[in-house]
Structure 1
Amino acid sequence: MLKNDSVVAMSTVTPNSHLMIVSQRGYGKSTPLASYPSHSRGGQGVRTFRVSDKAGKVAAARVVSEAPGQLILIISAKAQVVRITLEDVRVTGRNTQGVIVWRDREADDYVASIAVFQESDTSSSSSAEATAKTPSNGKVKMSSTDGEGENRKIRTKKTRKTTKNNRP
């Protein structure tokens, strides 16, 4: 890697997969992994996103399949969540900026992360559904099933205030 480069994400790949990238300012794109050449040891990689003041730096990158019904949750630093489908994101080449997939409501807000889920078939009772429940303890559990049938869980914890007499 070059001096100013950093790793944003890494993943295993499957045939016919795409790389979904979202920048801090809300620009996103989907690029077929077949567009990326393989390198041997010592390679410095290839450019995959055109960073600019308008688009910002790469906030998140995920490998997604071409299967229909892929949901993308875009989460901002100030808890704004936008849900889009993978079909809403334009398939582009490697060294491009992408299109706007998220707009900030506040000037100092930016994309913090993305999550990818498989949209469930609501007519089938045997399929796993993406659910979000808020139990009385304040913890949120979201679960879904990805294309491999493997359950993934995302858990956020309720923040705990610290005082001088009550340390965590």
Structure 2
Amino acid sequence: MANTHHRSLEVTVISGEDLRTNGRPVKNNAFVTVKADSCGSPSLPPSSTKPNAHGESNPYWDEKLHVDLPAGSRHVVVEVRQRSSSSRDRLVGTAWIPVSDFVGDYTPENYLRFLSYRLRDAKGLRNGIINISVRVVTSSCKGSSSCSLRPPPPLPEFRMPVDREEHGGTVTGVPVWYPSQWKA
């Protein structure tokens, strides 16, 4: 069977700041949904935190969610909602997070990133901040039955000689080039 490469995200929803609905602070029952955009494929169901019951506009969840990241996804959508007594949940704010913020740079795949994003309400106005951490979890799957997580790659070691007599001492500093017009 052919090998496939699958990515998923471990998103820890940490907290929110200055969340409001209709100009008033969100008192309680705020929760967060996280999903990857589908890019033409069927949309995946969002992962969701439990509602916050602490009655404050700066809720604290500290809850881990696992989100599948389909190939070609460009954004992860984070929505803060407030559970209400009516049949519909009220949208507090949304953040569209570019996948490029945590995939495709020079850091290892299992690297933990702490991120904060501005939320926008349904009218596009600023409405608080969401604080999250994201870790990309990669698995190599053979077929559909057996998948194993890759361990993080080893970190490079940087060493300096400490024997001053043999190596002539240790130099600290970095050479810096600057144009002659900067001279004082």
Task: Work out whether the TM-score is over 0.5.
Answer: no
More strand by share: 2
Instruction: Flag the structure with larger Rg.
Output: 2
Q: Give the TM-score, by structure 1 length.
A: 0.29
